[in-house]
Amino acid sequence: MRYAKAIFCVLLIMAVGGCGVKPTVFLHPDYNFRFLERVAVVPFENLSTDQGAGARITQVIITELFSSRAFDIVEPGETSRVLESYSIIRTSALTKEQIISIGKQLNVQGLILGTVTESSSQRSGSSTSNTVTIMARMIETETGSTIWSASHSVNGRGFWSSIFGTDSKSQSEVTRKCVKRVIGTLID
């Protein structure tokens, strides 16, 4: 009986441990987030080898933000049009003046920018392990200062799939999980 309890405790700890780490978050202590009514999502920069990961994750973020009903989201096509007029190559390198100006043009209080640092699939034997890592931040368009930032990494190969060799999560499931967790730090 004692052994059974010990095994159960070990499994429980491993299961909880397998849930992974929480996102790393920064929230501006003095900023009133209720001020945010409308935000725009700038296409995420892609530093991974997975072509299209930036655009794909941007779409998932927009869906997640809209579903939260926390604020209005600018139609991505309009965001792209305004960004095109600035001939910006790297969205992560926007200057403070550009951010303020873009904010005025899009009539938004916040811009969400970010980077996909990893979006990969690794095969090990008959199973595939998918990993997604993103860094996101929100910049307030009146002053150009960062009011929220979060980074997180999710691996589709969870505790149970590692132990029992069951199928791990697909790339899109991993992406959605990662985005949900990152956005959760802003909305909750």
Partner 1 sequence: MILSGIAMTSFAGEGSQRPSATIAVLPFANYSGNADAQQVGDSLILRFLNEQGWTVIPRDSLRQILRKHRIRAKNGISAEQVAVISAELSVDCLLIGSFDIYDDKEIPETAVSFRIIDCENQRLIAAASSAASGEDYAGLFGMGRITSIIDLNRKVITRAFADLNPTRIMSLKADPDILSAKRIAVVPFDNFSPDRNAGDIISSILISELIRAGWDVILPGDIFQLSRSQNRVTRGEIDLDLMRGLAEKLKADYVITGSVFDFASGTAGVDGSTPKIELNGRLIDSRTGRILSIAEIGSRGTDSELLFRSGTCYSLGKLAQKNIRNLRKKIAGERITNFADND
Distance of CA 134 to the CA centre of its chain: 5
Nearer to partner 1, 145 or 170 (CB): 170
Choose the binding region for partner 1 from 23-31, 90-98, 111-119, 169-177 (rule: CB under 8 A): 169-177
Residues 62-91 that bind partner 1 (CB under 8 A): 62-63, 66-67, 72-73, 75-78, 80-81
- In angstroms, give the least distance from the CB of 10 to partner 1: 32
Question: Could you say whether residue 170 binds partner 1 (CB under 8 A)?
Answer: yes
- Angle, CA 60 vertex, CA 101 and CA 154 arms, to 5°: 115
Is residue 65 within 8 A of residue 71, CB to CB? The reply is: yes
R_g (Cα) of the chain, nearest Å: 19
Question: Could you say whether residue 37 binds partner 1 (CB under 8 A)?
Answer: no
Tokens of 89: 């190559």
Q: How far apart are CA 17 and CA 158, in angstroms?
A: 10
Question: Could you say whether residue 142 binds partner 1 (CB under 8 A)?
Answer: no
Nearer to partner 1, 29 or 77 (CB): 77
Is the Cα dihedral 83, 58, 187, 136 positive or negative? negative
Q: Contact residues for partner 1 (CB under 8 A)? A: 52, 55-56, 59-60, 62-63, 66-67, 72-73, 75-78, 80-81, 170, 172, 176
